[in-house]
Amino acid sequence: MDIYKGIFQTDITKETIAKKQAAIEQLRKANWPDEKQNKVINTVLENIKKFEAGEPLFPEKSVPGAMTVLREAALDNRLTYDILNKAGSSLTEEDYAKGVALFKAERTEAQVFVMKRFKAKFNYVGDLDKSLNPSYNILGRAPDVAFSAAKEDMLTYLTENPRASFNEITKRSDEIAKKAFKSFKLVLLPEMKAQVDALTVAIPDIKKPEADVVKITKDYIASAAYGKLGRTNKIKVRSFLQDYKMLQKFVKIADEGGAGE
């Protein structure tokens, strides 16, 4: 009888599984368990299978406060699959189902959040591009293409990672956005070089390696040489400075993955 009690009275752990299985085999060889005891043993064996598969083992009553822990984690966007799974052994099957619903709601909220943030980031860059030159957009359709690609990457991640939490989803969305924004530099850097080349005759120093283009141009505007320029050329220099500073802002945003929107 002590062997039988040891089968169901001790917790199922990595250390106790082998002992439980050996005890069950010993009793069944002796043809000892009756119908009621066999039912208990079958439940233990079923729970061992769940344990080995990483599934929670449900008690008859939830541990007080276990569900509160899940709700508080969900409120702070901290609910992860691991937290949910670990709480399973402290929750009834019904309460565990509620926890699963909370987790799924977190994922849905995360998906809506990152998609809205993607749209805001890429729209911001598109609006900034238009403000730089209303008649000619340097980036063209690049922000729209990048948004579509980022959205596709995010949906692929969500499909392939059904257990990803809110924070894991938003972290991945940041990585995807940074990758997309860095591609804008492929368009921006040649444009900056072309603008510098166009002003090299007037301000030769801006072509030097590691030159601080903005500072050199400001110094030039403060110089006597600038004062001798005609009105049209003065406007060109000032327009160059304004546009170049905006392009620098673009590059900074690209490097930071959309930060500053």
For the entire predicted model, the pTM comes to: 0.61
CA 241 to each of CA 61, 127, 193, 254, 260: distance values in angstroms, whole numbers, following the listed order: 71, 20, 13, 20, 21
pLDDT tens, per residue, the chain with 261 residues: 567 777 776 677 778 888 888 888 888 887 777 777 888 788 888 878 877 777 666 777 888 998 999 999 998 889 998 888 788 778 888 898 899 999 999 999 999 999 998 888 888 877 877 776 666 677 777 788 888 888 899 999 999 998 899 999 999 999 998 888 887 777 788 888 888 888 888 888 888 888 899 999 999 999 999 999 899 999 989 988 888 888 888 888 888 776 544
Tokens 């990152």, residue located: 114
**CA gyration radius, the chain:** 32
Q: Which candidate, 189, 164, 180, 78, places its Cα nearest to that of 119?
A: 180
Compute the distance between CA of residue 161 and CA of residue 179 in angstroms, rounded to an integer. 20
Supply the mean pLDDT for the chain: 84
The full length of the chain comes to: 261
1-15: pLDDT as tens digits: 567 777 776 677 778
